[in-house]
Amino acid sequence: ETGVTQSPTHLIKTRGQQVTLRCSSQSGHNTVSWYQQALGQGPQFIFQYYREEENGRGNFPPRFSGLQFPNYSSELNVNALELDDSALYLCASSQDRRTDTQYFGPGTRLTVL
């Protein structure tokens, strides 16, 4: 069974640029959630995708957008990057949107200069 994978591992961007982060969900999982984890803090929920549709969104501006593909992999896009967007971005997959357990990938460390 393949776990959750994310790419890239690290990324450096400048303010105003756009970034795309990728996540492959665990085999058999149809739900993907994205979280932002600032240094020294707990993760903050960005949004969740279930069967290619957004299934809930946290308190993040519209410049944070996402996509889920038919194979249930997912992308997180962030436009007009700001310095405060620097964080670890975590992807988690679960077997179904009604399933408790979320399995996390190793994250993508984004630095905005």
Partner 1 sequence: QQQVKQSPQSLIVQKGGISIINCAYENTAFDYFPWYQQFPGKGPALLIAIRPDVSEKKEGRFTISFNKSAKQFSLHIMDSQPGDSATYFCAASMDSNYQLIWGAGTKLIIKP
How far apart, in whole angstroms, are the C-alpha atoms of residue 21 and residue 44? 16
Q: With binding defined as CB under 8 A, does residue 66 bind partner 1? A: no
Instruction: Decide whether 38 or 80 has the Cβ nearer to partner 1.
Output: 38
Query: φ and ψ at 95, to 5 degrees?
Result: -60, -35
Pick the binder of partner 1 from 40, 53, 70, 71 (CB under 8 A): 40
Q: With binding defined as CB under 8 A, does residue 41 bind partner 1? A: yes
Q: Per DSSP, what are the bridge partners of residue 103?
A: 93
| Helix (H) / strand (E) containing 71 | none
Q: With binding defined as CB under 8 A, does residue 74 bind partner 1? A: no
Q: What residues contact residue 12 under an 8 Å CB cut-off, 6+ apart?
A: 110, 111, 112, 113
Q: With binding defined as CB under 8 A, does residue 107 bind partner 1? A: yes
Q: Which residues bind partner 1 (CB under 8 A)?
A: 4, 33, 35, 40-45, 48, 55-56, 58, 90, 92, 94, 97-107
